[in-house]
Amino acid sequence: MNRPLIVAIVGVLIVAGALVLNYTLQGPGMGGGRPVAVVTGPGAPSFDVVRIDPKGNMVMAGRAQPGATVIILDGDKEIGRVTADNRGEWVFLPTAPVSPGTRQFSLKAPGPDGKELSSQNVVVMSVPERDGQILIVEQSRAGGRTRVLQGPNAPGSGTLTVEAVDYAADGTFALSGKADPGSTIQVYLDNEFIGRGTAGDKGTWEVEPQKKAAAGKHSLRVDQLGLNNNVIARLEVPFTLDPAQANMAPGAVTIVRGNSLWRIARRTYGEGTMYTLIFEANREQIKDANLIYPGQVFNLPPKNRP
């Protein structure tokens, strides 16, 4: 009964593998001409996460030597530079959406001895012209097993979420969301590690950091770790701590990017269908139940309200 679905998924992965093999052999600077000399080795920069959302916005993250400048290449063209933090982690967020087509990404950065090293692996991406399956795969320059970063069965694909950020006027705050059951979650405030948690059997996680946040705008980053403690999913959400909102009455929630009334109702009342209760209690703010915005503050009425 499930065989057609299994065949479809396997077929897509076969196409992904063929795409990588073909593109790495025929892609820019690698086919039809002289091979480009590439120096890799221990301490070279590497990819952890490469993902694209439905609007074409890409997030790319990985590791390098702490403090190293990482150069991101699309084929032979440099598209950006970022600096690895003191943990050797880096994040790159292009300002423009990714255009349709097939391309290959690689990295360069100084190694332990200061000499420039290239990433051992490359990432090949296929973005369709119209609605279709985005494929992002990683493969060693020397060939070998392909790792699917985004596709039908990519690890953590679409699982990691941040559903709420609760905070007080003194700067204490807590986060909660969803991830693969049993996975480790690490949280960063403005790229500083602030806490760790584990997703429960139902995939829910909560982290209450010891560090306080100052009033103003911040960036919250959440990483989901795999079996080898490598990052398999990553989210970044804007977070504004507004002391004026911090004294809200019990039963209020501040909206962050990625929230929906359905998710809030499911987390608060146990049933997503009860989103109408929140909608009716906040009609002055919500004109369309499908459109809510970061920074809005909603009242969450009791479930048994008449």
Residue by residue, DSSP assigns 269-301 as HS-GGGHHHHHHHTTTT-SBTTB--TT-EEE--
Q: Dump strand ranges (E) for 64-112.
A: 69-74, 77-83, 89-92, 101-110
12 confidence band (pLDDT: 50, 70, 90):
very low
Name the least confident of 120-129, 130-139, 147-156. Answer: 147-156
Whether CATH 2.30.29.30 fits 3-150: no
Q: Would you say 301 and 269 are in contact if contact means Cβ atoms under 8 Å apart? A: no
167 against 221, higher pLDDT: 221
Whole-number Å distance between alpha carbons of 197 and 210: 13
Name the least confident of 98-112, 166-180, 196-210, 245-259. Answer: 245-259
Whole-number Å distance between alpha carbons of 63 and 84: 7
Q: Would you say 84 and 72 are in contact if contact means Cβ atoms under 8 Å apart? A: no
pTM score of the predicted model: 0.47
User: Distances from the Cα of 131 to the Cαs of 44, 100, 226, 279, in angstroms?
Assistant: 36, 11, 30, 31
68 confidence band (pLDDT: 50, 70, 90):
very high
Residue 126: closest CA among 24, 254, 236, 228: 24
Q: What is the mean pLDDT of the chain?
A: 74
Residues, the chain: 306
54 confidence band (pLDDT: 50, 70, 90):
confident
Which of 3-7, 151-155, 259-263, 274-278 holds the top average pLDDT? Answer: 274-278
Residue 228 CB-density burial (10 A; 0-12 exposed, 13-18 middle, 19+ buried): exposed
Give the mean model confidence (pLDDT) for residues 235-246: 70
**pLDDT > 50? residue 115:** yes
**pLDDT > 80? residue 269:** no
Enumerate the β-bridge partners of residue 58: 52
